Amino acid sequence: MILLINPKTTKSTEFQTDFFREPNSGILYLAAVLDQNNIPVEILDLEQYFSLEIEEQNKIIIEKIEQYEIIGITSLTNTFYLAKHIAELIKKTNRDKIVVLGGPHVSFQYKEILNSEPVIDFICVGESELSFLELVNLIIREKSKKMSSQAFESELDAIKGLAYRNLEGNIIFTGFPKPIDIETIPIPSRYLLTQGNFYYRVAGVIVNRGCPNACSFCSRQKLFPKTRIRSLGSILSEIKDIISYQTYNYINFYDNINIDKKFFHGFCQLFIDNKIKIPWGCELRVDNIAGEEARLLKEAGCKLIATGIESASLKVLKNNLKYQDPKRVISGINHLKAVNIPVQAYFVLGLPGETELTFNETLDFIKKLPLDNNDTINYFVATPYPGSRLWDEKESFNINIIELDFTKYDCQHIIFETSDLSVQKLEKLFETAKNIEQFFKRH
């Protein structure tokens, strides 16, 4: 009945079987909710066909969609063109198939998409577990009871979190859905991933939705307005489920395991008390890590932490609502390195307020970090994703967006310039930043 498609996003040159990651959690959660409600569902994860050319992938899609009436496609900003291609292929094959898009990009671009893309029938905006289920149930009833178009549309309007074109061709948005009680969502249905090409070695586990921070370059606050942290019991159930597959050799925990100090301690203790041995890594705020937290991470078996440092300039950080003290960042990394936990440090070039002076300040800061050859530096270009403050409030940030090709919204292309940094200057600084990144990879 329902097919959920994850576009192929990993380039062949990037493919590594030792670190092959699952598709985004969105379709795994949707599949779990449908399955829990006894609605037949299958996942077509095109990442599992990474080696095939586009023509061969198209054949797989055409063969798969034949037996399904509703096809859901997930999309990030820089993969929207892939989702659009799949939707066009579906409608070209059979225009009666119902195509539903979901994901962060389409949640903030639904008007533009529905105005320009006739192949899209519905867009699920924001958290979609409930809205997609209600939409699917409504479509099933409409087909079985032969509802009138007017009655069907009237019931559509009652589903929060939907965008679509009505009978008159006008775009209707039913409003953002209420925050979901994340304890009611079943664990992701990893068993639905095709076993024939099961390359996955790294499982991704979401420990929270929403974020109490307000960083200018992030859309999470708008996508998930209320911060919710999962119970330790539900996280433990998911860890045990992952281990039971006997195919995964690593777990990544997202998006910030130390938003809440009590949760952080309970989370680490979970591994210790239950003698969980599978290697794992996580994202966290390193400025909140003291010696006690570092030792607890080590005892719990943490093999890597990733952290967003962004800049060493207090001016740049404050200007972009990233309230973090670089001195505390150094302290936190010192504590982690004291117990030999590798660090993956993220930096961002070109945020509003950045100058050549602040960039050099950050480079000097990097040189002072107590990093060794087990650690990595990643430098990204500031990117105004739809839904972020940089996108919504670009005038107040005084940025000039010069690139609207969403395929380039991958943090590796220069998307905007400021009064302080022109495109030419940014290109030169990014080359320097990448040299620093490569230096750490070589040593």
pLDDT band with cut points at 50, 70 and 90 for residue 440? confident
CATH code of 96's domain: 3.40.50.280
Identify whether 148 is part of a domain.
Answer: yes
Identify whether 266 is part of a domain.
Answer: yes
Q: What 3-state class would DSSP assign to 163?
A: strand
Are 321 and 393 part of one and the same domain?
yes
Which residues, at least 6 apart from 159, have a Cβ–Cβ distance to it below 8 Å? 131, 134, 135, 138, 174
Residues 371-429 pLDDT 10s: 998 999 999 999 999 999 999 999 999 999 999 999 999 999 999 999 999 999 999 99
Are 222 and 302 part of one and the same domain?
yes
Residues 149-190 pLDDT 10s: 899 999 999 999 999 999 999 999 999 999 999 999 999 999
Helix axes 261-273, 232-244, angle to 10 degrees: 40
Are 287 and 364 part of one and the same domain?
yes
Are 219 and 300 part of one and the same domain?
yes
Are 19 and 93 part of one and the same domain?
yes
Q: What is the mean pLDDT of the chain?
A: 94
The DSSP line for 71-111 is EEEE--STTHHHHHHHHHHHHHH-TTSEEEEESHHHHHSHH
Query: Residue 134: which of 200, 84, 70 has the closest Cα?
Result: 70
Identify whether 210 is part of a domain.
Answer: yes
| pLDDT, average across residues 100-116 | 97
Residue 14 has pLDDT above 70, yes or no: no
Q: How many domains does the chain have?
A: 2
* Percent of the chain whose predicted confidence (pLDDT) is above 70: 97
Are 161 and 254 part of one and the same domain?
no
Q: Is the dihedral of CA 27, 33, 35, 38 positive or negative?
A: negative
100-114, 210-224, 301-315, 345-359: segment of lowest average pLDDT: 210-224
Identify whether 181 is part of a domain.
Answer: no
Residue 353 has pLDDT above 60, yes or no: yes
pLDDT band with cut points at 50, 70 and 90 for residue 51? confident
Other beta carbons less than 10 A from residue 298's beta carbon: 16
Tokens of 384: 């105004």
Identify whether 355 is part of a domain.
Answer: yes
Residue 11 has pLDDT above 60, yes or no: no
Residue 87 has pLDDT above 80, yes or no: yes
Are 373 and 418 part of one and the same domain?
yes
CATH code of 334's domain: 3.20.20.70
Are 319 and 360 part of one and the same domain?
yes
Identify whether 193 is part of a domain.
Answer: no
In 281-400, alpha helices (H)? 291-299, 314-319, 326-338, 356-368, 389-392, 394-397
What angle is formed at CA 90 by the lines to CA 89 and CA 95, rounded to 5 degrees? 120
Which residues, at least 6 apart from 226, have a Cβ–Cβ distance to it below 8 Å? 179, 209, 210
Among 156, 173, 190, the domain-final residue is: 173
Q: What was the pLDDT predicted at 259?
A: 93
Q: What was the pLDDT predicted at 99?
A: 98
Among 154, 173, 192, the domain-final residue is: 173
Are 313 and 243 part of one and the same domain?
yes
Residues 215-229 pLDDT 10s: 999 999 899 999 999
Q: What was the pLDDT predicted at 52?
A: 84
Are 162 and 207 part of one and the same domain?
no
Q: What was the pLDDT predicted at 439?
A: 77
| pLDDT, average across residues 327-352 | 97
Distances (CA, A) of 14 to 9, 18, 40, 240: 10, 12, 33, 29
| pLDDT, average across residues 18-46 | 90
Burial, 251: exposed, middle or buried (Cβ in 10 Å; 0-12, 13-18, 19+)?
buried
- Quote the domain boundaries for residue 239: 201-442
Determine how β-strand 208-209 pairs with β-strand 228-229: antiparallel
Are 229 and 168 part of one and the same domain?
no
Q: What was the pLDDT predicted at 436?
A: 87
Q: Which pTM was predicted?
A: 0.93
